[in-house]
Structure 1
């Protein structure tokens, strides 16, 4: 099982993620697109990095907005895997 990060490690790692917030035991971001089609195209781009990492985001789609939440469910909070996937997602346009 993945190792939970300490609060200090979480705050330090969060400094390197633009637009992401730490809310309880989750990393969150909302991405806004021109329309529904672009939002879905973005979601489809998340498949490869998530599958490669074996780590999957919680997603909520509402027309042109995609809300992403990351947490390591089996560890019960934030781990390095969450921050690694957040970095990968941040690189997707």
Structure 2
């Protein structure tokens, strides 16, 4: 069986009414996004990225917003001089869904490949 990496998947609309991922499912998916931490008793994942200055952090946040719009899955983002913190959870199910891990993998890929300028 071939394992599909999270970054190659697309978020699917979540209508609610489904259970959040189990702790075993969360642990298995987190292996693909090891720099993200599990928060709030496995209801949320979070990562802080660092940058050289405010402009780079802002450019990253703008790219994350564009990605979120294209995937239809929107993280909570806070940023300031030299950092951006991204938090993901599926609010409709008050916990984690595979979409959260897909977005995390795509945000990591974005961070690895972003061109922020000089």
Q: Same fold (TM over 0.5)?
A: yes
- 1:19 equivalent to 2:35? Answer yes
Higher alpha-carbon Rg:
2
- 1:82 equivalent to 2:100? Answer yes
Give me the CA root mean square deviation.
Answer: 1.1
Unaligned runs of 5+ in 1: none
- 1:34 equivalent to 2:45? Answer no
Within 1, Cα distance between the matches of 2:70 and 2:98? Answer: 15
What's the TM-score, normalizing by structure 1?
0.93
Moved over 2 A (4+): none
What's the TM-score, normalizing by structure 2?
0.75
More strand by share: 1
Unaligned runs of 5+ in 2: 1-14, 112-118
